Chains A and B, each alone.
Chain A
Amino acid sequence: MSDFFAFLVERFPDLLKALQEHLIISITAVVLGCLAAVPLGILLAGNRSKWLHSLVFGIANIFQTIPSLALLALLIPLFGIGTKPAIIALFLYSLLPILRNTYAGFTSVDPGVIESARGMGYNKAQRLFQIQLPLAFPYIMSGIRVTTVYIISWTTLATLIGAGGLGQFIFSGMGVNKKELIFLGAVSAILLALLADFVLGIVERRVSRKVKPSQSASAV
C-alpha cells in the first residue's frame, strides 16, 4: 500500500495532465450534447408529426448502438486522430439520453398548467422559459447526470486514438504488465465518475425540491 502511495506521488503530474485531458474531452462532449439535444428535445415535444419523432430518435439510437470503439474508428478518416474525433464520438453518444430525458420532461408538464399559462397571457417564449423549462428541468438534469457519468467512463477509450486521458494509464499498464498503472487509471476514472454523479446529483435534487409535482384539485 505504501508502495502504491509512493508511486502515486511520483506520477502525480502525469495524473493531473491525464485528468485534465480527460475532463476536457468529457465535459466538452456533454456540453455540446446538451446544446444539441435539449433544443431538439423541446422541439420534438412541441411537435406532433410522428415521422419526425421516429427519425430523430432513430438516428440518435443508431449512434448509441454503435460500439464506442467502432464509432471512434469510423470518425478518424473524417477528423483525424486526437481530441477532435474523441469529442465528436462522445458527443454523438450523449445525444440519446439527453434527448430522451428532455422530451420526457417536457411531455410530463401538466397540460392544465400550460393552458393556464397561455390563457393568462404568457407568450410562447415566456411559456417556454418561465413555465415549461423550469418544470422539465429535473428530468433534463437527470439525463445530463447519467450521460456525464457514462461519458466519463467511455472517455477512457479515447487514448487509443491519441486523445490521452485516464485511459492512458490503463492501456499502458496492460502493455507493460504494471498493475499499479492499471489501478491508477481505473480508480481515477471511477472516482471522477462518482464525483460527477455526486455533484450533479446535488444540483438535480436542489432543482427538484423547488418544483413540486403538480396536483389535480380532485379530492373525490
Chain B
Amino acid sequence: MKKGLLGTMMLVLSLALLSACGSANKIVIGAQTYSEVKVIAEMYKALIEDRTDLKVQVKPDLSSSPVVINAMKSGEVDMATLYSGEIFNNHFELKTEPKTREEVVEAGREGFAGLGITWFEPYGFENTYAFTVRKEVADQLGLKTISDLKEHAKNMKLGVDTTWLERPNDGYKAFSQHYGIEFGQTFPMEIGLVYEAVANKEVDIVLAYSSDARIKEFNLVTLTDDKQFFPPYDALPVARTKVLEEHPELKEIIPLLHGKITLDKAIALNYEVDVNKRSEREVALEFLRKEGLLE
C-alpha cells in the first residue's frame, strides 16, 4: 500500500533517470504497482541472469499499464506483464469483437504486433475488476451478483483505482450503461488503499483487483459479474519485438512461466508480499526453486 504511493513518486524519478538503453547487454523489465507483476518481473530477472549473460534491471511501480506500454514504445522498457483486457483501452483500432479469453489474447497479439510489441502465452491466471464488499454488508443486503446492487448503489460510496472512471470501454461510463447502475459517490485512489478503505468502512464498496490476497485477508466478498460486462484479463508476458531480435535467447526463457501461475498461486504470491511483507525478490526466488526452474 505504502509502496504503491511511494511508487508513483518513483514514476517521476524513474522516467527521469531512465537513460537511453544504449547498454547492449541490459534488459529493462517494467512493472506496474501490483505485487504479482513485480514478483513476476523478479522471476524473469533471476531466470535471465541465470541462463544468459544479460543483466536485468527491474523498474517497478509504473503507475498503470498505459504508462508501461508507452515506455515500451519509446524503448525505455523491454519486457513487461500485461493483461489481455488492455486491448479495450484504445491502444489500436479493434477490427473484431473478441469475447472469449482466447479471442481476446489473439486480438491483442495481432494488435500489439503492429506497435512493435510481441505477446506471449499467458501465465494461467486472470486479474480482473471485482466489485467487493464487506461480508456483513453482503449478508445484510443479500448481495451476490452485481445486479443485486441496483437499488442500493445510489446510497453507496465506491472506491476505485485512479483510472477506472476514465477508461473508455471497461470503465464507469460503459459499466453504468451496461448495468443501469450509478453509485452515490466515487472515490478514486491508489489501488492499494481500497482494501483497507472498505474494511474500515470509509467506503461501502470497492472495485478491487481479483487476484489480490487482501480480499480474503479483510474478509471481503466479491460479487459475480452476472451480465458479463468486464472483458477477460489474462496476465501474460510481453516484450519489444526488436529486443527479441537482438537477443533471441529470450524467446526460450519467457515461455518458461507459461501456465505455471494459476489464480491460487497468484493470490499466494500477492499474499506473501502484501500481507507477510516479504520482498518481491525473495518470493520470486522461492517460487522458482519450488517449480524447479532455478537451483
Contact = CB atoms under 8 A, between A and B. Distances in A.
Given A160-B8, A172-B188, A177-B89, A82 B66 contact: no
Contacts of A76: 1, 193, 196
A172 B5 contact: no
A168 B6 contact: no
Contacts of A70: 5-6
Interface in A72-94: 72-73, 76, 80-82
Nearest to A157: B8
Main secondary structure of the interface of A (DSSP, over half): helix
Interface residues of A, number: 24
Interface in B152-207: 159, 161-163, 165-168, 171, 187-190, 193, 196-197, 200, 202-203
A66 B126 CA distance: 38
Given A69-B8, A160-B162, A175 B66 contact: yes
A176 B174 CA distance: 15
B2 interface: yes
Contacts of B67: 174-175
Given A73-B2, A171-B63, A174-B67, A160 B190 contact: yes
B64 A175 contact: yes
A184 to B, nearest CB: 11
Contact of A175 (B2, B163, B196): B163
Interface in B201-251: 202-203
Nearest to B70: A177
Nearest to B64: A175
B63 to A, nearest CB: 6
B6 A80 contact: no
Interface string A169-203: 00111111110010000000000000000000000
Nearest to A84: B202
B157 to A, nearest CB: 10
B90 interface: yes
Contact of A160 (B163, B189, B203): B189
B66 A177 contact: yes
B5 A162 contact: no
Contacts of B165: 168, 172
A145 to B, nearest CB: 26
B91 to A, nearest CB: 8
B9 interface: yes
A175 B191 CA distance: 12
B202 A175 contact: no
A67 interface: yes
Given A73-B2, A159-B162, A162-B187, A174 B197 contact: no
B163 A172 contact: yes
A168 B162 contact: yes
A176 B168 contact: yes
B89 A159 contact: no
Nearest to A172: B166
Contact of B5 (A69, A80, A174, A178): A69
A180 B239 CA distance: 28
A175 B91 CA distance: 12
B63 A162 contact: no
A164 to B, nearest CB: 7
B222 to A, nearest CB: 21
Contact of A174 (B64, B90, B168): B64
Contacts of B70: 177
A171 B62 CA distance: 12
Nearest to B7: A69
A32 interface: no
B110 to A, nearest CB: 20
Contact of B193 (A162, A168, A171): A162
Interface string B66-99: 1101100000000000000000011100000000
Interface of B: 1-2, 5-6, 8-9, 63-64, 66-67, 69-70, 89-91, 159, 161-163, 165-168, 171, 187-190, 193, 196-197, 200, 202-203
9 contacts: A70-B5, A159-B188, A159-B189, A171-B8, A172-B166, A174-B64, A175-B67, A176-B90, A177-B70
Q: Which 5 A/B pairs are nearest by Cβ-Cβ distance?
A: A175-B163, A162-B189, A177-B66, A175-B64, A172-B166
Given A70-B6, A171-B63, 14 more contacts: A70-B5, A73-B2, A76-B1, A80-B197, A81-B196, A159-B162, A162-B193, A164-B187, A164-B188, A174-B64, A175-B166, A175-B167, A176-B167, A178-B166
